[in-house]
Structure 1
Amino acid sequence: MAAGERSLLLPSGSSTAITVTLGSFTPAPHFWDGTEDRWPAVMALKGRATALYGAGLLLPATRAFSVALRHAVIAGGPPPLPPSRAHPKADLHAGLALCQLRLGLPAAAAANAGKALALRPGHVKARYRRAMAAAAMMDWDGAAEDLGEVLRAEPGNRAARRELGVKVMGLGWGLEEPYG
């Protein structure tokens, strides 16, 4: 509604209509204004989501990661984000990707892992999860490329070695134990 605009309201259960006229309008503040006090809530939600996943509560953990991400968008401020905000947000995307992998949603998992990598290119867990999502979607080249990057960052990563070895031997891909 704009200033001076009128609206006719008919409350439920009533036969009498009410006319409302808007006298003035206050524009909404920018969504990032007043964010300093919101970031601790994001971190608390991240902890809760992680604890839910650790307890084996997959659906509540998925929802908690999603809610924490929505709060992080508001609390993070305008882009580009400083590392103190970008890294936890990348962790949230990576956590959501893990939940989505477990729920059998590889396309969504790949998208969230990609968002985590956009915020933090060296995020090894996000790269591994994107590789597992690619494998689940039968994108063998993409999966092998991401697993290679994981092994370049962490040469001793047993999960990536196992997955890459399984592909090289032509036995298929497993999703039994996504890299924690």
Structure 2
Amino acid sequence: MESPTASPNYGSWRCPDGRFTKNVLEPGSGVIKPKEGARCIICVEPLADPTRCVEPLADPTRCVEPLADPTRCVEPLADPTRCVEPLSDPTRCVEPLADPTRCVEPLADPTRCVEPLADPTRSAGYPTGIWVQIELGEGDAGLDRLVDQCLETMLPGEVCRVDGLLGVQFVLKLASFEDGKEAWELDVNGKMERAARDREMGGKAFRDGNLEGAEQRYARALRLLVCTPGEAEEERIALLSNLAACDLKKGRLREAEVRCTRVLDKEPKHLKALYRRGMARAGMSDWTGARADLENLLKLDPGNKEARREILKVREKQKNEQAQISRALGKMFL
């Protein structure tokens, strides 16, 4: 990744892929920046959203969601003496009022003014608000990847504000780091161990519904094994098949078909690849190809319930398509 050069007034830098802008608050020292595998001491501090009120309040009768009328804290009430004074912050009702009976009714949870809202910074696997040691590249959540990408541009001691896509904002501090081994420095066993760990963690991310994290793990593991000898072939095949599963989940049917074909070229009896290619072809209305894959799978694994269920659907759709074609051809000669 291209690295920013801090200006004398610290300045800002925009990532070439547009994922984030980094504003340097305190410059770091030295010239060496962390790389993948480095053990970094960091602190991630999500920035407060001024439109939300989720901090504990001393007065449980204060704070409501923004209302249609920004000059009033609640809608007009039957009692005209309650809560009609303009507030300094038109989006919140947190100013103490002279009359404790005014503003809003007490909330169910007296420690919070609203229920927790969806916050992209809360999806982080890296802990926030505390100093913690992480291994760069080991985060799977969306914010983790943003943190990793930013860390590769930072110097020890640097503090910066990160403005990401979709309004994500946080302060990132890098206290220090120790270099880890990069991929090219690993021997064959080291590469295979790291690839196996990435495949395992990718599987966990996939089961948790984190497709981006799973893809990142599988793709990195595959890159590690590109130049390894034949003993890593089985691992490469498994990774290609897993990437095809991610393609299917994301609706990338052609990519899934291509990856599965690469697997089947090397291992024609790979059950998962046969199933996934059959599903990809069915999704593209290639009923003949899908039927062939599922029938081959059932020859190898007659008890596969999913394949048996899907082949019934494929046969029915293929039958309907052929009937439509026959009707259309019949009309041509009337």
Letter paired with 2:274 = R
Where does residue 294 of structure 2 map in the other structure? 147
- Contact 1:97–1:108 at 8 Å: present in 2 too? yes
Where does residue 27 of structure 1 map in the other structure? none
Between the aligned partners of 2:238 and 2:263, the Cα distance in structure 1 is: 7
- TM norm structure 2: 0.39
Where does residue 244 of structure 2 map in the other structure? 97
- TM norm structure 1: 0.69
Q: Secondary structure of 2:224's partner? A: helix
Between the aligned partners of 1:73 and 1:122, the Cα distance in structure 2 is: 23
Letter paired with 2:199 = K
* Greater C-alpha Rg: 2
Letter paired with 2:268 = P
Between the aligned partners of 1:34 and 1:57, the Cα distance in structure 2 is: 30
Structure 1: 5+ residue runs without aligned partners? 1-10, 14-30, 173-180
Letter paired with 2:279 = M
**Offset, 1:155:** 0.3
* 1:1-180 to 2 correspondences below 5 Å: 34-74=187-227, 76-77=228-229, 81-82=230-231, 85-170=232-317
Structure 1: 4+ residue segments shifted above 6 A:
none
- Contact 2:198–2:218 at 8 Å: present in 1 too? yes
- Contact 1:45–1:65 at 8 Å: present in 2 too? yes
Structure with the higher helix share, 1 or 2? 1
**Offset, 1:37:** 2.6
The share of aligned pairs that are identical, in percent, is: 29
**Offset, 1:51:** 0.9
- Contact 1:86–1:119 at 8 Å: present in 2 too? no
Q: CA RMSD in A?
A: 2.2
Cα offsets for 1:82-136 (capped at 9, x unmatched): 4xx2222111111100010000000111111112222322210011001111111
**Offset, 1:12:** 11
- Contact 1:134–1:143 at 8 Å: present in 2 too? yes
Structure with the higher strand share, 1 or 2? 2
Between the aligned partners of 1:65 and 1:91, the Cα distance in structure 2 is: 9
Letter paired with 2:303 = G
Structure 2: 5+ residue runs without aligned partners? 8-183, 320-334
Between the aligned partners of 1:86 and 1:149, the Cα distance in structure 2 is: 23
Q: Secondary structure of 1:143's partner? A: helix
Cα offsets for 1:48-103 (capped at 9, x unmatched): 111110111112112211111111213x22xxx24xx2222111111100010000
**Offset, 1:35:** 2.1
| Count of aligned residue pairs for this structure pair | 138
Between the aligned partners of 1:34 and 1:113, the Cα distance in structure 2 is: 29
Between the aligned partners of 2:213 and 2:264, the Cα distance in structure 1 is: 24
Between the aligned partners of 2:262 and 2:294, the Cα distance in structure 1 is: 17
**Offset, 1:36:** 3.1
Between the aligned partners of 1:136 and 1:59, the Cα distance in structure 2 is: 22
Q: Secondary structure of 1:92's partner? A: helix
